[in-house]
Amino acid sequence: MTSRSNPVEIPGWTHIYSGKVRDLYVPNEERFDATGFYGHSDAQAGNRAGLTVNDDAELRAGSVMVVASDRISAFDRILPTEIPDKGKILTQMSLWWFEQLKQVPNHVLSTDVPDVVAGRAMICRSLNMFPVECIVRGYLTGSGLAVYNETGEIAGVKLPAGLVDGSRLETPIFTPTGKAEVGEHDELVTREELYAEVGQPVGERLEELSLSLYTTAEKIAREQGIILADTKMEFGTDSYRGEITLGDEVLTPDSSRFWDAQQYEPGRAQPSFDKQYVRDWLRSPEAGWDGSDNVPPLPEEVVEKTRARYVEAYERLTGTKF
């Protein structure tokens, strides 16, 4: 078990940052040989996971290894209990989605990573990330529902009256948030605030890309009997090409709400393929949690059910056994 304060040591790599659930590393200079290849064995050097000379230039221009831990967060808090295999499940799901969403450039360069993090890590382009989380909602629920009930709108987007928990929106809406520090809550921003932060042309492009990706992903998920209710994406500019690039992880139960289409029923909370078991338990009298930073450990049953939902989401979406 590792923590944000005690990340795994990876020979040849330097840890530079830990978020709620992911750790970032940069390569030590000695990992590059004359061709720019990361220093694996001679046998491995013959098969470089599809890297080309051009990729070497990109690696040198700036690369980072993104390692998904088994940590889990809820209500903007990092929990003391991990979910076994969560990092591997979410990494493999992200990689699968990146393959489905090739209409937008993404940051993945290679999955040829050290054995200690195999299956849970990606070598990625280093991006200059925009200070915004691009959220697209196709259905009304969660924090969006709470804001709607108070104001009749979300992030300046007015919605029809009479919507309930789980209502499908006539068209998906773009409701970005700022990026808060760990432990703080991300706040919705209006288009005007977004444009003030990144400029109108970039803001409009982020909205266009986010809605396009959601539309494609929603159709793919629906074909597998799963509703993609909403999702969060993050973008940055590629320091090598200078283009807007999809980064972070994408369309996993950590960043998206997936519902079982067969059980969908507006007007109530929907059964979901995410950490809902965790959220529900933390709200329960059994947990006795007061919302402070002192989050109680999860019971084994909640851990097992949460892992099972992650696995089910992966297998149903990808058609691959985990």
Burial (CB count <10 Å: 0-12, 13-18, 19+), residue 251: buried
pLDDT digits (tens, 9 = 90+) for 34-55: 334 444 433 333 333 444 434 5
Nearest to 253 by CA among 284, 282, 221, 281: 221
What is the rounded distance in angstroms from the CA atom of residue 195 to the CA atom of residue 64?
28
| CA-closest candidate to residue 177, choices 210, 215, 201, 214 | 210
For 230-242, the pLDDT digits (tens) are 999 999 998 778 8
Please give the residue that has the higher pLDDT: either 170 or 180: 170
Give yes or no for a contact between 44 and 271, defined as CB atoms under 8 angstroms apart: no
- 144 in Cβ contact with 154 (< 8 Å): yes
Contact 16, 126 (CB under 8 A): no
| Domains of the chain and any CATH numbers | 13-127 (3.30.200.20), 129-282 (3.30.470.20)
| Residue burial 15-40, b: 16+ Cβ < 10 Å; e: rest | beebebbbbbbbbeeebbeeebbbeb
Residue 57's pLDDT is what?
57
Least-confidence region, from 33-42, 64-73, 220-229, 294-303: 33-42
Digit-coded pLDDT (tens) for 173-198: 999 999 765 545 678 899 999 999 99
Q: Distance between CA 174 and CA 191 in Å, rounded?
A: 9
- CA gap 200, 194 in Å, rounded: 8
